[in-house]
Amino acid sequence: MSAADHEYQRRAPHMVPGQLKYSAKMDLAALEKFYCCHCMCPVKNAMARRTYIDVYSTGVQTNAPMGCCCCFWCDNAVYLHYDDKRLGDVWGQAGCCKPFPWCCPHLCNCCGETLFVHQCFACCAPACPLMAGHHFGCIPFYCASCSKFDTWYGLQPGEATQVASEVELAKRAGPGTVAQRAEIGIAQVLPMGQGPQGQEMSEKK
């Protein structure tokens, strides 16, 4: 058994490297529009191209770059495992009053389709019929602070629902097969005049 196998056995099931299951299809033009709305027009293309949502067998990785002052920006890559409450329990396409009670979280689809994820840290979350954080019913009990939701903009049509489905499937399937760890070794030095497979390299005349 290799050292990598011992290390993977030590970790909790969701802490081992996962297999990539799905990559959300993003709309470049919609993302650029979104970043322009946040006064990042000079670097909109660079930020848009670095925005992604990847679904793995053990969690979800996202990157939504942050910026300020029109041209200063940095990546905001995050990987959250499925057993991490911050990842959220309810995923879907945002719309009018969806998730309730927010009126227009999807910005009327002006910046592409919108994916939302609802996060509720309250112990009674599974019993909520709306799965919207008990905002009205729990406000008198000061529990609204236990609930929040995140949004990702700039998805192509139909992608928000697809990502939500892929996340649910990955959760049900479990961690599955562990991704192979790359072997670390010394690169082979080839004799002069030979290619990668040992074939002779001749000059084209």
Tell me which residue of 153, 94, 147 sits closest to 122, measured CA to CA.
147
Least confident of 44-48, 77-81, 175-179: 175-179
- Say if CB 118 and CB 88 are below 8 A apart: yes
pLDDT number for residue 5: 74
Highest-scoring range by mean pLDDT, 1-5, 148-152, 196-200: 148-152
Residue burial 135-165, b: 16+ Cβ < 10 Å; e: rest: beebeeeebbebbebebbbbbeeebbebbbe
pLDDT score for 7: 83
User: pTM to 2 decimals?
Assistant: 0.72
DSSP H or E run through 164: helix 159-173
Domain ranges (residues) in the chain: 10-173
pLDDT at 134 over 90: no
Tens of pLDDT, residues 15-71 = 888 889 999 999 999 999 989 888 888 999 999 999 999 999 999 999 999 888 888
